[in-house]
Amino acid sequence: MTLLVQKYGGSSVADADKIKQVAHHLAQAHKEGNQVVAVVSAMGDTTDELIALARQVSRHPPEREMDMLLSTGEIVACTLVAMALRDQGLEAISLSGAQAGIRTDAGHSRARILGVDTQRIHQELEQGRVVIVAGFQGVTEDMDITTLGRGGSDTTAVALAIALKAQRCEVYTDVEGVYTADPRIEPRARRLDEVSYEEMLEMASYGARVMHNRAVELGWVYEMPILVASTFRSGPGTLIHGGANMEVRNKVRGIAHEVDVAKVTLRGVPDRPGIAATLFQTLSQAGISVDTIVQNASVERLTDLTFTVSRDHLEKALEMTKKVAKQIGAGDCLGDATLGKVSIVGAGMQTAPGYAARMFQALYQEGINIELITTSEIRITCLIDEKRVPDAVRVLHKAFELEQA
Amino acid sequence: MTLLVQKYGGSSVADADKIKQVAHHLAQAHKEGNQVVAVVSAMGDTTDELIALARQVSRHPPEREMDMLLSTGEIVACTLVAMALRDQGLEAISLSGAQAGIRTDAGHSRARILGVDTQRIHQELEQGRVVIVAGFQGVTEDMDITTLGRGGSDTTAVALAIALKAQRCEVYTDVEGVYTADPRIEPRARRLDEVSYEEMLEMASYGARVMHNRAVELGWVYEMPILVASTFRSGPGTLIHGGANMEVRNKVRGIAHEVDVAKVTLRGVPDRPGIAATLFQTLSQAGISVDTIVQNASVERLTDLTFTVSRDHLEKALEMTKKVAKQIGAGDCLGDATLGKVSIVGAGMQTAPGYAARMFQALYQEGINIELITTSEIRITCLIDEKRVPDAVRVLHKAFELEQA
């Protein structure tokens, strides 16, 4: 018998009708002879509503309490899915993260999974039950409830699939898979049948938000295949895996983009060891998450340092950077909040430098100015004017002939 | 240091403002040098909303899932109270029923408490924290979540007070204590400073719904004093206890009443052993909870049997009774859905029969017809026309001079 782990996000369980549809979906998989474990997120806006409630009683809700509060959202959803399944005549049981044996460290609001005690789940599966697990949560050694942070339910699903030695982890969402670009911007964008873990990581971190990187990384480390597909439309979806069956490599697989990017440039930085460390330690301590960092070549022992942050962190980042600039005797500090990112993603691009040239050429011909360039092994990213991001996606999609399989 | 257990009902934590007031109340008790454990119910209508949600996905939600669903209501409330306390500068921690060590049997939706493992609570108290416990819930040996049924949070509070050897259990609610009658009907009704456990049981089961009988019974068995007082108005409240300091006994302490009563009368019942057993077993199996039962003296081997049920059970009760009547060869079966109950309650009344006569006389003078009479050691109850219940309460309050202390 095949064991499947399926994950359903918040929009898939947003109301009673959708919950019934999810139950139907699960019943189908069960009737096809599979053992089924489902991980569900909180219904629709539940988490936001609970956060708002907490803010009404406390200016700084303690993380330990916040975790216990938020964990109820997923528990509500998973009991309702279990009820709907029972209503359709199937044996089903809901389990909280603690009951499902999801053991984590005590890092409240961002806990890491230490292990999964699968005994209870196996016991329920052996009795022919569909097991519904509350995503996003776990339990510490001291029986305190933790949450896993952003993308937590994806991570729960992949961790369970690994611990249960499932055939694969299926992530059901409101899109039909991973596309060559965002279909809302480029209508000719094509669903990919399969992508590698590393390509998925670059696609997701650069804006094609289908599932969370942390879960993809976990899948990669344990080589757990992940299928991303639509909850409410049948279709093959996209298989994220690292198998030998991958499509031709050395090819651009997709265009990722991101808006809401802000840039901070610190001019005239003395070229001494430890300077960058001082700056980024200060920012990290202030809770500012820095994305891309670029340091230009040193001219006369002075260098320019540029980094990007999310837009809502810009003000604080500028403030901190100015303080550090004074300390280390650097020059001006400039911020720019009107930027976006566009990236081409594909395995093995670094060894085929023609891609970069083709990318820059396409943007140039469209009159789009490049503010900053960064690359990884499988990605080339340009920072551009936010307003030009949709144009850039379309022109790159065409330049790399992504409308054709 | 004195250890107090305080319980706050759903109307006391109905919104963020009230939660802040409850936190203030708890902070006060803590600042006065007490160790404080608080038990809270779900906010306002949360439980009803969760039940409605369950009904949307399932015609017959399984009890095990329902318990897990409903338990989230109390968890939300207790985390918010803990947050509000932290916001007021106090150390506080919320604990679910499971975390607080409330061990129960597996009787979902009506679980009984088997014991309380107080280790975690003691540990938190020793660190100077106010401990907020989710009421109404516990956990089985298998880590499944249970709920305790009606009045569950009261029961949690009293059980914790007993297990923690608290000085007393304080139940804060939207009334200022136990009254000689319902103040909405009799404005001259007086708050009682103290009542005995048994008086409280009769008052509560006959309609003065201040706290649940199950919790009062538990307090009685373990001789845990229970103070009932208002959350939002300061006042002495009513102490429920069994101490030697009780007010004069052999006195009517209060008038209880109940509406929503229906009566079933089965005529011409053959006077054979086992007949009553057959009838009430049938009703019990159909989930009909029978309240008062009266069997008139047997005349020529035929007797009349009358019992009361809540109004929404009348139709089903009549149907079942007619079936049994046929089986056993009894006569007519009549129902009446327009009844109410009025009772006088006071310790030791049975040994002072003058009370019954005074009660019947007062009702007679007011032109109120008595349909049925039942008595216990400390209570005399008359079934009367529902429409006359308010008049009966007022006339009895006056007849027994309850407006004077």
Q: Please give the residue range of the domain that contains residue A295.
A: 255-399
- E strands in B167-240: 168-173, 194-195, 226-230, 238-240
Residue B28 pLDDT: 94
As a whole number, the mean pLDDT across chain B is: 89
**Which range, A315-324, A357-366, B152-161, has the best average confidence (pLDDT)?**
B152-161
Is B346 part of a structural domain of the chain? yes
Q: pLDDT class for A244, splitting at 50, 70, 90?
A: very low
| Nearest residue of A to residue B76, measured between CA atoms | A69
Rounded Cα distance between B29 and B45, Å, is 27
The 10s digit of each residue's pLDDT in A360-395 is 889 999 999 888 888 777 888 899 999 999 999 999
In a domain, B9, yes or no: yes
Using an 8 Å CB-CB cutoff, list chain B residues near A75.
68-69, 71-72
Partner residue facing A79 (CB), from B20, B69, B80: B69
In this complex, is the C-beta atom of A146 within 8 Å of any C-beta atom belonging to chain B? no
Any B CB within 8 A of A103 CB: no
Q: Which residue is closest to B68 within chain A, CA to CA?
A: A79
Best of B58, B91, B121, B131 to disrupt the A interface (most A CBs within 10 Å) is B58
Q: How many CB pairs under 8 A join A and B?
A: 110
The CATH number given to whatever domain includes residue A61 is 3.40.1160.10
Query: Is B164 in the same domain as B264?
Result: no
**Domain match, A137 and A269 both:** no
Tell me: do B122 and B267 sit in the same domain.
no
CA distance B310 to chain A (A): 29
Nearest to B16 among A53, A82, A86 (CB): A53
- Nearest by CB to A20, from B57, B61, B66: name it: B57
B216 in a domain, yes or no?
Answer: no
* Residues A165 and A39 occupy one common structural domain: yes
Q: What is the count of structural domains for chain A?
A: 2
A167 touching chain B per CB within 8 A: no
Q: Which of B174, B205, B224 represents a domain boundary (last residue)?
A: B174
Report the residue from A20, A72, A144 with minimal CB separation from B75.
A72
B223 is a domain residue? no
CA distance A232 to A23: 11
List of chain A residues whose C-beta atoms are within 8 Å of the C-beta of residue B63: none
Contact of B137 with A96, CB cutoff 8 Å: no
- Are B64 and A16 within 8 A, CB to CB? no
Mean pLDDT over B58-68 rounds to: 95
Give the residue from B174, B205, B228 where a domain finishes: B174
Is residue B229 domain-resident? no
Residue A118 vs residues A133, A134, A381, B55, B82: alpha-carbon distances, Å: 12, 14, 41, 31, 32
Which tokens in the block code for residue A15?
């109301």
Chain B CB within 8 Å of residue A94 CB: yes
* B353/A14: higher pLDDT: A14
Read off the pLDDT of residues A261-278 as tens digits, 9 standing for 90 and up.
Answer: 999 998 888 877 777 788
pLDDT above 50: residue B244: no
- Report CB contact under 8 Å: B58, A84: yes
Q: Is B109 on the interface with A (CB under 8 A)?
A: no
Chain position carrying tokens 């609570």: B121
Query: Are both A286 and A144 inside the same structural domain?
Result: no
Tell whether B203 is within 8 A of chain A (Cβ): no
Query: Taking CB atoms and an 8 Å cutoff, what residues of chain B touch A49?
Result: none
Shared-domain flag, residues A284 and A156:
no
Q: Is residue A215, in this structure, part of any structural domain at all?
A: no
Poorest-pLDDT segment among A21-25, B67-71, B350-354: B350-354
Q: Which residue of B has its CA nearest to A79?
A: B65
- Whether residues A84 and B19 touch (CB distance < 8 A) is answered with no
Residue B235 pLDDT > 80: yes
Contacts of A50 in chain B (CB under 8 A): 76
* Model pLDDT, residue B243: 65
pLDDT in tens, A155-209: 999 999 999 999 999 999 988 999 999 888 999 999 999 998 988 888 876 666 6
Lowest mean pLDDT among A29-38, B135-144, B157-166, B199-208: B199-208
Contact (Cβ atoms closer than 8 angstroms) between residue B347 and residue B198: yes
- Residue B378's SS3 state is coil
Nearest to B143 among A62, A81, A99 (CB): A99
What pLDDT score was predicted for residue B15? Answer: 96
Q: Is residue A184 part of a domain?
A: no
Claim to verify: residue B126 and residue B262 sit in the same structural domain: no
Complex ipTM: 0.81
User: φ, ψ for residue A266 (rounded to 5)?
Assistant: -110, 120
Residue of B12, B40, B43, B65 to mutate, testing the A interface (most A Cβ within 10 Å of its Cβ): B65
Find chain A residues with C-beta within 8 A of B143's C-beta: 98-99, 120
Contacts of A131 in chain B (CB under 8 A): none
Residues of A in contact with B102 (CB under 8 A): none
Residues 6+ apart with CB under 8 A from A243: A225
Does residue B252 carry a pLDDT above 80? yes
Question: Do A127 and A38 fall within a single domain?
Answer: yes
Asked which of A174, A202, A218 is the last residue of a domain, the reply is A174
Q: Does A119 touch chain B (CB under 8 A)?
A: no
How far is A147 from chain B, CA to nearest CA, in Å? 14
Q: Are residues B283 and B392 in the same domain?
A: yes
Nearest C-alpha of chain B: how many angstroms from A380? 45
Q: What is the CATH number of the domain that holds B280?
A: 3.30.2130.10
pLDDT at B30 over 60: yes
Sequence-separated contacts (24+) of B380-383 with Cβ below 8 Å: B380/B343, B380/B344, B380/B349, B380/B355, B380/B356, B381/B206, B381/B292, B381/B341, B381/B342, B381/B343, B382/B341, B382/B342, B382/B343, B383/B261, B383/B263, B383/B292, B383/B308, B383/B339, B383/B340, B383/B341
Please indicate if any CB of chain A lies within 8 Å of the CB of B265: no
* B393 vs B401: CA distance, rounded Å: 12
Residues A266 and A127 in one domain: no
In whole angstroms, what is the distance from residue B37 CA to residue B166 CA? Answer: 9
- Residue among A16, A57, A82 whose CB faces B80 most closely: A57
B277 in the same domain as B169: no
pTM score, two decimals?
0.83
Domain annotation covers residue A249: no
Give the pLDDT of residue B163: 97
What would the pLDDT profile of B194-215 be if each residue is shown by its tens digit?
998 988 888 876 666 688 888 9
For the ranges A212-226, B53-67, B201-215, the lowest mean pLDDT is seen at B201-215
